Homo-oligomer: A and B are copies of this chain.
Amino acid sequence: MESNQAQAAPRSGQADFLSRLSAADADDLVRASQRKLFAKNEFIFKAGDAGRHVYFLQRGRVKIYQPAPEGKDVILWFCFPGDMFGMAEVARGGGRVVHAQACEAIEVLVLSQTELTEYLQTHPAAALLIMQVLSDRLRALGDVVVNLINDDAQTRIIKLILRLATRYGVRVDQDIHLSIQLTHQEIADMVGATRQTVTSVLSLLQRQGLVRLENRRIRIDSLELLDGMTSSG
């Protein structure tokens, strides 16, 4: 396979729900739902809440993470405009198990469980799309598990960067810029390492000229080299 992907890959991850919906279906969704705003750092919902609503993100970024009493929080994924979240608990019933927190000021569409059911019955294509999104996330999580079990900290971090790059990367000249700001602590919470380990691995990679870190943004100098580093260095 070529490594020469033109720009942000269309593939992978919890792929953008809204943009894959037909225009008519999307219009109906907007009509059936309610618009809502949240401030930066505000929680859309928290673990333990009842969880009777689904959200479609229109603007901003949302962090989905699972708190562990007496342990480290684990960031499961981020949602970007077009993404859906809160679906799992609505489908299966039971309360929320994760926190959903706005990383910045955001705008969402909200549907209650009954509104959603109604919408899905009249829009079967949307139901299939939801299955796709859930399946995507399932695979992504499966990959994370395999990663955690098989790879050392450095490899886990590199693979995380590569994963983020295919989904949130933007090509700028030779480099790929990630359209995400992440602290070392957040990265640590995603790969299951400590903050210190992330710091030292990242500065190592930077010294080797594989990535550049500017103001909490990651820039990748060479995808190929980075790819080659996994579990070999």
Contacts and interface: CB of A to CB of B under 8 A. Distances in A.
A139 B92 CA distance: 10
The DSSP consensus for interface residues of chain A is helix
A71 B128 CA distance: 34
A167 interface: no
A135 interface: yes
A100 to B, nearest CB: 13
B87 A146 contact: no
A138 B88 contact: yes
Contact of A135 (B68, B88, B231): B88
Contact of A142 (B131, B135, B136, B141): B141
A137 B92 CA distance: 10
Contacts of A141: 138, 141-142, 145
Give the 4 A-B residue pairs with the shortest CB-CB distance, closest first.
A71-B150, A149-B192, A88-B135, A134-B134
Given A70-B231, A74-B146, A88-B139, 5 more contacts: A89-B135, A91-B131, A91-B135, A124-B127, A144-B145
